[in-house]
Structure 1
Amino acid sequence: QEVGKQRLRDARIQAVDYLILLLAGACLGTIAKVSDESFGAVGYTYTVIAISLLCKIAALRSFSLDKLHYWRESASGMSSLAHFLAKDTVDHFNTIVKPLVYLSMFYFFNNPRSTILENYLVLICLVYCVTGIAYVLAICFETGPAQLWSVLLPVVFTLIATQDKTKGFLSRFEDFCYPKWAMEAFIIANAQRYAGVWLLTRCGALDKKGYSVRDWALCLYVLIGFGVVSRIVAFNFMV
């Protein structure tokens, strides 16, 4: 109940978040036109970075603004697990709504071949993933450094994930970069809509990136897994 009242007081901030997402969706959807050769990879690269930045910065507020309050309540006997789950449960509203807000503009202006449902499912998993990472940053760092890390990580991880087939250490590290799985899910969903004479192009483009059309569900599971693991890590750091 206390967490719910706090979020009602933050309604204005939430409204600003949604407005920024609308503007980001419209701008990125207009700038990044779908290319049949790349299956809209440019637009999805922008999407992963934008959603990661905006949702991470917003999720930092869940734990960075009331650390003193939590420590005081925890010392008086409040359950840390209940506090963490309450914060996370309330944030699930944003996990569901923010992808819809962004897609309402991005999908209209960009018009990819994949369905809006496929894009929505990928974005839900992506937001769930980055929200968990933001919890870790908010709990481990002060507000300033946490915001810097929230900006740096999506950019660096996305640059690594958008490389063509890599080898050695970078190839192994790429599997731990969540943008790689989000990008793969977006591109596979788009590529599956190509048929006929585009099949050869589709196979060549996916092979160049090391993707497989059978891995769409796997990408979503990995993103959810990142979100679950990051929440476990965040809770352990909190207590």
Structure 2
Amino acid sequence: MLGLKWSCCHYVYNLKSPSFAALLSMIAALRTYSLDKLQYKRETESGISSLAHFLSKDTIDLFNIIIKPVAYLSMFYFFNNPRSSFQDNYVILMALVYCVTGMAYVLAISFAPSLAQLWAVLVPVVLTLVANKGKDSMIQKYFGKFCYTKWALEAFVIANAEKYSGVWLLTRCKSLESGGYNLHDWKLCLIILIVNGVIARILAFIILVTR
């Protein structure tokens, strides 16, 4: 009974982490492009390179990508005390923040500020619900692999499950089996999150230039 309660607490931790972190990071990253569209138009008309403009803003945001996971974990990690290490959680969150920051660029460039904020709230919430579906769900089967939340949640669960040993192995097998996760896919999850961030940035730059 105690083992089941412990496992449930860590599952709730793993579920909330990608949702909260993605939501806060995406909303904060909207400011990078939401407030300076007129300034960008003036600068491009004067001859500034669009690529240099985009890369400079993205480079400045790298500081936030590195610092935000630390600020988040300094409060959230020690209250929950999960089995996974602080370093593993930091790496996952950094990849997650990099991914959603690129998505925020797309929303900020494509929509007006108020509408972009609405989408920035809806997208993480809806995709988290998709990631929370069981492995046998039709939604998870066809759409789960395209959701960054699925890979972030899997990375958190795997990092936590790797620390189980001895009598806790049954709990580890249950947590992995319920989500259809593979213990050896931790690095794959991080790579997919980073690739999603790169693709989102390429799409954001294309929209910035064309619009």
Measured against the shorter chain, the TM-score band is: over 0.9
**C-alpha distance in 1 between matches for 2:99 and 2:163:** 26
For residue 206 of structure 2, what is the amino acid of its counterpart? N
Tell me the SS of whatever aligns to 2:30. helix
Which segments of 5 or more consecutive residues in structure 1 lack a partner in the other structure?
A: 1-33
1:35 deviates by: 4.7
**C-alpha distance in 1 between matches for 2:187 and 2:153:** 13
**C-alpha distance in 1 between matches for 2:136 and 2:44:** 47
Change (3 A) 1:169 1:179: closer
Change (3 A) 1:198 1:55: same
1:170 deviates by: 4.1
Q: How many residues of Structure 1 are paired with residues of Structure 2 in the alignment?
A: 206
1:189-211, Cα deviation, whole Å (9 max, x unpaired): 00000011121221122112100
Task: Please list every run of at least 4 consecutive aligned residues from structure 1 whose deviation after the TM superposition is greater than 2 angstroms.
Answer: 34-39, 166-170
| Equivalent residue, structure 2, for 1:214 | 184
From 136, 141, 145, the counterpart of 1:166: 136
Alignment of 1:186-205 (within 5 A): 186-205=156-175
TM-score by length of 2: 0.94
1:44 deviates by: 2.3
Kept in 2: contact 1:56–1:131 (CA 8 A): yes
| Equivalent residue, structure 2, for 1:128 | 98
**C-alpha distance in 2 between matches for 1:181 and 1:56:** 17
| Equivalent residue, structure 2, for 1:103 | 73
| Equivalent residue, structure 2, for 1:115 | 85
Kept in 2: contact 1:39–1:187 (CA 8 A): no
Kept in 2: contact 1:57–1:147 (CA 8 A): yes
Kept in 1: contact 2:134–2:140 (CA 8 A): no
Which segments of 5 or more consecutive residues in structure 2 lack a partner in the other structure?
A: none
**C-alpha distance in 2 between matches for 1:127 and 1:41:** 20
Change (3 A) 1:170 1:211: closer
| Equivalent residue, structure 1, for 2:11 | 41
Kept in 2: contact 1:52–1:130 (CA 8 A): yes
Matched-pair identity in %: 57
Change (3 A) 1:167 1:64: same
Tell me the SS of whatever aligns to 2:146. coil
1:17-65, Cα deviation, whole Å (9 max, x unpaired): xxxxxxxxxxxxxxxxx95334712112222121111111110000110
Do residues 230 (structure 1) and 191 (structure 2) align?
no
**C-alpha distance in 2 between matches for 1:35 and 1:101:** 28
| Equivalent residue, structure 1, for 2:29 | 59
**C-alpha distance in 2 between matches for 1:167 and 1:52:** 23
1:236 deviates by: 0.2
Tell me the SS of whatever aligns to 2:6. coil
Kept in 2: contact 1:49–1:158 (CA 8 A): yes
Do residues 175 (structure 1) and 166 (structure 2) align?
no
Kept in 2: contact 1:132–1:227 (CA 8 A): yes
1:163-186, Cα deviation, whole Å (9 max, x unpaired): 111344541211111111111001
**C-alpha distance in 2 between matches for 1:35 and 1:74:** 58
Change (3 A) 1:217 1:35: farther
